[in-house]
Amino acid sequence: MKRNKAQTKERNKGLWKFYTLAGILIVSILAIAAYLLYQKIYYGNRWYQGTVVNDVDLSGQTLEESKRTITSMHENYILQITGRDQGSLSVAGEDIQYEFGISSEFDALFEKQHENIQIIPKKHAYQDVEYTVSYERDRLKKILQDSVLVKGSDGYQIVRPVSAHVQFSEENQRYELIEEVRGNKIVLDNLLEAVDHILCQAKTEMDLTDELTYPGIYKAPQVVSTDEALQKELAACNYAALRYIVWNMGEGVTEQITPVEMSQWIRYQNGVVKIDQNAVQKWVESFCLKYKTVGRNRKILSHTGKTVEIRGGDYGWQLNYEETLKQAKKAVKAEIDHSAIDAYLDNPSEENRGALILKRKVQYAYTAFQKDFRKEGQSAEDYFPVDWDTGNYTEVCLKHQKVYVFRNGKVKFSCRCITGRPVEGRTTPLGAFYVKEHKREYTLTGEDYKTPVKNWVRVTWSGTGFHPATWQPWSRWTKDLYKTKGSHGCINLSVEDAAIIYDMVPYREAVFIH
Taking the alpha carbons of 206, 212, 213, 215 in that order, is the dihedral positive or negative?
A: positive
Q: What would the mean pLDDT of 27-41 be, rounded to a whole number?
A: 63
Asked if 287 and 258 touch (Cβ cutoff 8 Å), the reply is no
Query: Is there a single domain that holds both residue 357 and residue 399?
Result: no
Query: Is there a single domain that holds both residue 173 and residue 293?
Result: no
Rounded CA-CA distance 175/476 in Å is 77
Query: Is there a single domain that holds both residue 206 and residue 73?
Result: yes
Query: Is there a single domain that holds both residue 153 and residue 200?
Result: yes
155 lies in some domain:
yes
What pLDDT, in 10s, does the model give residues 185-212? 999 999 999 999 999 888 899 999 999 9
Asked if 201 and 131 touch (Cβ cutoff 8 Å), the reply is yes
Rounded CA-CA distance 209/222 in Å is 19
What pLDDT, in 10s, does the model give residues 324-338? 999 999 999 999 999
Question: Nearest-CA neighbor of 91 among 131, 130, 148?
Answer: 148
113 lies in some domain:
no
Rounded CA-CA distance 46/39 in Å is 10
Query: Is there a single domain that holds both residue 185 and residue 275?
Result: no
Tally of CB atoms within 10 A around 69: 14
446 lies in some domain:
yes
Query: Is there a single domain that holds both residue 9 and residue 30?
Result: yes
R_g of the chain computed on alpha carbons: 50
Q: 431: helix, coil or strand? A: strand
Q: Which residues contact 170 (CB under 8 A, 6 or more apart)?
A: 260
106 lies in some domain:
no
Question: Nearest-CA neighbor of 433 among 388, 476, 403?
Answer: 388
Rounded CA-CA distance 40/477 in Å is 143
Rounded CA-CA distance 56/75 in Å is 15
Q: Final residue of a domain: which of 173, 198, 225?
A: 225
pLDDT at site 123:
75
Q: What's the mean pLDDT when you consider all of the chain?
A: 90
Query: Is there a single domain that holds both residue 209 and residue 235?
Result: no
What pLDDT, in 10s, does the model give residues 450-501? 999 999 999 999 999 999 999 999 999 999 999 999 999 999 999 999 999 9
Tally of CB atoms within 10 A around 169: 13
Q: Are strands 88-92 and 51-53 parallel, antiparallel or unpaired?
A: unpaired
Instruction: Give all strands (DSSP E) within 170-271, no chain letters.
Output: 174-178, 205-207, 244-250, 253-257, 266-269
pLDDT at site 299:
93
Beta bridge partners of 441: 454
52 lies in some domain:
no
By residue range, what is the domain housing residue 39? 2-44
452 lies in some domain:
yes
Query: Is there a single domain that holds both residue 375 and residue 275?
Result: yes
312 lies in some domain:
yes
What pLDDT, in 10s, does the model give residues 310-359? 999 999 999 999 999 999 999 999 999 999 999 999 999 999 999 999 99
% of the chain exceeding 70 in pLDDT? 90
Q: Final residue of a domain: which of 180, 209, 225?
A: 225
pLDDT at 3 over 70: no
Question: Nearest-CA neighbor of 394 among 434, 438, 454, 453?
Answer: 434
Identify the CATH number of the domain in which residue 304 sits: 3.10.20.800
pLDDT at 137 over 70: yes
**What's the burial of 16, exposed, middle or buried (CB within 10 Å: 0-12/13-18/19+)?**
exposed
Query: Is there a single domain that holds both residue 142 and residue 253?
Result: no
Among 50-64, 82-96, 440-454, the least confident range: 50-64
pLDDT at site 17:
74
Query: Is there a single domain that holds both residue 341 and residue 372?
Result: yes
349 lies in some domain:
yes
Can you state the percent helix, strand and coil of the chain, rounding each to 5? 35, 25, 40
Query: Is there a single domain that holds both residue 146 and residue 39?
Result: no
Q: What would the mean pLDDT of 238-250 be, rounded to a whole number?
A: 96
Identify the CATH number of the domain in which residue 477 sits: 2.40.440.10
Domain count, the chain: 4
pLDDT at site 120:
65
Q: Are strands 410-416 and 431-434 parallel, antiparallel or unpaired?
A: unpaired
Asked if 288 and 324 touch (Cβ cutoff 8 Å), the reply is yes
Query: Is there a single domain that holds both residue 180 and residue 276?
Result: no
pLDDT at 379 over 70: no
Rounded CA-CA distance 7/13 in Å is 10
Q: What would the mean pLDDT of 415-419 be, rounded to a whole number?
A: 98
DSSP letter at 387 equals: -
Q: Are strands 318-319 and 364-366 parallel, antiparallel or unpaired?
A: antiparallel
